[in-house]
Structure 1
Amino acid sequence: MEKSEEKYVSSGPLRLWTESFGYQQDPTVLLVMGSAAQGIGWPDDMVEVLVAAGRHVIRFDHRDTGLSDWVDFTTHPYTLADMAADAEAVLDGYGIDRAHIAGASLGGGIAQWLGAHRPQRVLTLTLIMTSPMGNEAGPAWARAVAGLDPDPGELPPPDAALIRHFMSGGHEEGADETWRLLNGEAVPYDGAAARRFVEASLKRARKPGSEAQHDLAGRSMTEDRRAPLSSIAAPTLVVHGAQDPLFPPRHGQALAEAIPGAELAVVDGMGHAFFSPGLPRRIADLMVGHTQGR
């Protein structure tokens, strides 16, 4: 693994843990992780490929995760826009005006928000296993739980087995089973890597359980999230798994169709996780090609 530098940056009253790799004079790739996941969720293999290709890479812990500060959501609720402001604060903390922004899952929504509302900070967007930031998933979930078909024109709900797992509280009882379901069965699942990530995350967590508040922020459909994705001018790559059980492929297709000139890369067998051998490097190669010369 490349030598890294860890430091804290300020986002308003909050301190956020960050880690950078490579040389700051190289183009920066800011990696924005998904809901309830720490920055270390971006695999080292992916970082290595990016740095070897001449990229300066930054990953960070969202508020309420890892070594970053936690928030009392009851008294200080926050939204996707606040999490996007945290991502901007990370760039500010490194003195970086513009960067290639890559977001996974909820991080992809944050990246879209930056592309729509802070275009001056964005060189390119890479949106991985995510959905349009204005998509309100709750009604589709409710209909799926009730055994009803989706409404016409509605983006599809998660896989039925995954919904049963979440509704039964299985995600709270065993993280390994959750990651196995998210990975899917079409590609190998590296359970040992998933367990190492879960164990490392527990050791690093300043306030275990606070990461669940990301779900509250993610479900808050504020007006700024309804900004037209057609306003995004940054060159955009949408990377989506052909077997994604949380956001079925139609989500990635809808996202690519909404952003002018966006390229859609559907990865055979990929689910909603990075825990399949070789997959992080494959995605990193796509990111290298997308950011090359931009």
Structure 2
Amino acid sequence: MTEPLSHGEKLVEINDVELCIETFGNPANPAILLIDGATASMLWWETELCERIARDGRFVIRYDNRDTGRSTGYPPGRPGYTYTDLAGDALGILDALEIDRAHIVCRSMSGGIGLIMGVDHSDRVESLTFVSTSTGEDGLPPSSDEVTSGIPADPDPADPGAVVDFVVASAKACSGGSPYFDERATRALVERDVARTRDIASTLVNHYAMSFDGSSRDFASVKAPTLVVHGDHDPVCPLPHGHALRDAIPGATLLPLEGAGHDLPKPLWDVFVPALLQHTGGRR
């Protein structure tokens, strides 16, 4: 009988909090830990994408960061953690799964988590992949006006329908007018996400309210092989942010995604997945 790719969601206690994790594939294969960005639960690393990577000989791990999905939440506007704590959670997940070293894939805001892991915990990191993120240095182009103009006013957290509309509109704005944005699929994902989230009011605000205490670390100190993946339509961190990140990390390579915004649209998985497999191949 073929082993199911997903081993199901489970809550694990790490660093005195509960984190919801899900794994795919054979634990004996090289591990890929997927970390998502601000307000995003693990569902934004779509199940089909995780299964596709797992089928190609990787052990894939996705999880809900604090204040997303089924993981521990904090009162709205009062997150009881910092960037370093979130990096500690990622390391704790590897410990819980008895994984010494993993390939770390971090998207958007979680690029800071990847930086902390790559500099302070390089012995745990086989490789790094940064998706739609930035060095945050001065002089890079700001987010485009279409991001703020396309996002409606903050919704009433007690109204799930309004929250869904808000998150879908936000995702559409962050797609940068990408021809690949699928509003129907996005809405279905958001509806599932909102339904399983412990406290959507905290999800909407707390990642933006936490202390970003990783800024003193230097991307030039990253030693792990690094792949930078960046959409050429990204209105949140325009493509020069990807160029700057590649240039800041010794030996890093850049994979531009033609037609992608601040997301990782399904039609471009045929580009992303082979590049990720090549980047993570042969290491354990």
Same fold (TM over 0.5): yes
Q: Which runs of 4 or more aligned residues in structure 1 lie more than 6 Å from their structure 2 counterparts after TM superposition?
A: none
Letter in 1 for 2:202: S
**Which of residues 257, 261, 267 in structure 1 aligns to 2:247?**
257
User: CA separation in 1, counterparts of 2:21 and 2:231?
Assistant: 28
Determine the C-alpha separation between the residues in 2 that align with 1:253 and 1:227. Answer: 19
* Aligned-residue offset at 1:282: 2.8
Which residue is equivalent to 1:216? Answer: 209
Q: Tell me what 1:13 maps to.
A: 16
Deviation at 1:225? 2.2
Query: Hey, what does 2:58 align to over in structure 1?
Result: 55
Instruction: Indicate whether 1:182 and 2:182 are aligned.
Output: no
Q: How do 1:166-205 residues align onto structure 2 when only pairs under 5 Å count?
A: 166=151, 169=154, 174-205=166-197
Greater shift after overlay, 62-71 or 182-191? 182-191
Say which SS state the counterpart of residue 140 (structure 2) adopts. Answer: coil
Letter in 2 for 1:195: R
Cα distance in structure 1, aligned partners of 2:111 and 2:73:
21
1:283 and 2:272 matched: yes
Work out the CA distance in 2 between the residues paired with 1:3 and 1:20: 6
Report the RMSD for the aligned CA atoms in angstroms: 2.1
1:146-181 per-residue CA deviation (whole Å, 9 max, x = no partner) reads xxxxxxx51111111113345854896622222112
Identical aligned pairs, as a percentage?
35
5+ long unaligned stretches in structure 1: 137-152
SS in 1 for 2:215: helix
Q: Report the alpha carbon displacement of residue 117 of structure 1 after superposing the two structures with TM.
A: 1.2
* Structure 1 residues 13 and 231: CA distance shift in structure 2, 3 A: same
Q: 1:271: Cα distance to partner?
A: 0.2
TM-score, scaled to structure 2: 0.89
Further displaced range: 250-259 or 68-77: 68-77
For residue 73 of structure 2, the aligned residue among 70, 73, 82 is 70
Unaligned runs of 5+ in 2: 156-161
Task: Report the CA distance between 1:3 and its aligned residue.
Answer: 3.2
Paired residue for 1:33?
A: 36
Cα contact 1:43–1:280 (8 A) shared by 2: no
Q: Size of the alignment, in residue pairs?
A: 272
- TM-score, structure 1 as length reference: 0.86
C-alpha contact 2:11 2:19 (8 A) present in aligned 1 = yes
List per-residue Cα deviations over 1:212-246 (Å, max 9, x = no partner): 201112xx342x42211111100000000011010
Superimposed CA distance per residue, residues 82-119 of structure 1 (whole angstroms, 9 cap, x where no aligned partner): 11111111111101111000011112221122101110
Q: Look up the match of 1:93.
A: 96
